[in-house]
Structure 1
């Protein structure tokens, strides 16, 4: 492990994890994490951002000298209760620059103000909105991180069951199982640098609210329980020591041909720290190559 990784892990543990562990006010926590993201993460050079609305869902367009007619639909993380497109925009700007695709990050509704399936409904509306704008499914790649990674996979499962196949999908540290049946939630609890496992039950209750009859196994929240007929290429990343590791590993049961990559002792959603971590930059470069390959293959086969 290099010294930069050690510093980032320490910062994640003593800042982000501490805030998540001891937070009592959700609005204050949201504001604090937003401010930290604005200070810590820097856009790739030549990045352009523009607010916009797709399919009735507000969001943020990110582009960096796009060289194709393709688009990436990327969902930010934050347990479905935190985060916003601006928090992930710097990381996504790197993917935009290296992949040549424009990116739309939806400002999907957050719980507890908007319990599940509000986020999924916004994700689907944004995808449909891209189709209305003239993009074909083979020109769209779906991505996300943490809860946003799970949301992207849930959207992918829904689309495939409707006979719609995007160009591909990728996710960093995806949250795929809100039934909490993965062993790493327990075995990695002491090693996790960012997420406090002891608050997950409380967070899930906020996400579900009172109206979700299917509960935690709802495939709109837990794509680990979904089916993926005739999937496109899928790439999933997770860290060996994070509590959500098994949420990624067990997706092999649903997506046997997926490219699953487990890295070493890094923080949850480490690509966010691309300004500091060589490992983060390597992951983003690899993912951008995956995106380009998906779009090229899909375009050839269309």
Structure 2
């Protein structure tokens, strides 16, 4: 563990985890999340374009034409936006040479489940209308957005139009909350307070079935699934959501690359510029994206 990771671990425990334990309501949480992401270092030469239908296109430097990463931001379905993830997504675009499309999807509690999933489907449809074929698209996301990307992956596989590939950072894949890491890593997780995850889930589900595969892709079916890359840390409360997702996809016949890092915070990729491991993880993603499109081109 690097000295930067040690310092960040302490800062997250003393400041951000305690803040998450005390946050009173959703508007306060949204303001706090926006303030926190302002600490992220920007990526040089970032270009952001807004297109109809809530599609935000992010790039930095040259991008391969006709290819796209369709990325769903995290935030527990209640906070976050393409803006909060902009620096990381720009770095991802720069390293991979592929433009990122980050949809603005509706958040809970104003729009409960299945609103976010329906918006994910709509974003896919808009890309298809713009001329992108399934093999031109890599699905992706982090945390709740990672679960959303994997739910959309299952939906597209079942529809017979799987994307080129998919990747997810610490995805929330089981809203039934049956993973052992929720209790095993209760103290070890430097950021997420396990005692509030049921409250967070209810903001989104509003009493609906947590085993529905549109919100819990761990319970979805994935026929003819393309390659998938999953990354998480061993100390996260959502660790088992990633580990079990990898097993589930492999059982479905998918080629899965699973990377489990030691003692890193939830979606450490957002700390690019502060945490060396963030850049290394994004480089792995970039190589995976490039290889996925190369295989499809053949």
Does TM-score exceed 0.5, indicating one fold?
Answer: yes
Distance in 2 separating the partners of 1:241 and 1:259: 19
Residue of structure 2 equivalent to 1:254: 248
Asked if 1 retains the 8 angstrom alpha-carbon contact of 2:79 and 2:107, the reply is yes
Shift of 1:201: 1.0
2:57 is the counterpart of 1:61? yes
Q: Determine which of 263, 266, 270 is the counterpart of 1:265.
A: 263
Residue of structure 2 equivalent to 1:217: 211
Asked if 2 retains the 8 angstrom alpha-carbon contact of 1:59 and 1:85, the reply is no
Shift of 1:190: 0.7
Structure 1 length-normalised TM: 0.94
Q: Determine which of 283, 288, 294 is the counterpart of 2:286.
A: 288
Shift of 1:251: 1.2
Q: Determine which of 195, 199, 215 is the counterpart of 1:202.
A: 199
Distance in 2 separating the partners of 1:184 and 1:29: 24
Unmatched 5+ stretches in structure 1: none
2:46 is the counterpart of 1:52? no
Residue of structure 2 equivalent to 1:279: 277
Unmatched 5+ stretches in structure 2: none
Distance in 2 separating the partners of 1:166 and 1:72: 10
Q: Which moved more, 1:218-227 or 1:8-17?
A: 8-17
Residue of structure 2 equivalent to 1:34: 34
Distance in 2 separating the partners of 1:50 and 1:10: 36
Structure 2 length-normalised TM: 0.96
2:12 is the counterpart of 1:16? no
Distance in 1 separating the partners of 2:295 and 2:16: 39
Residue of structure 2 equivalent to 1:76: 73
Q: Please, what is the CA RMSD of the aligned residues? A: 1.1
Shift of 1:43: 2.6
| Corresponding residue pairs, total | 293
Instruction: Report the secondary structure of 2:139's partner residue.
Output: strand
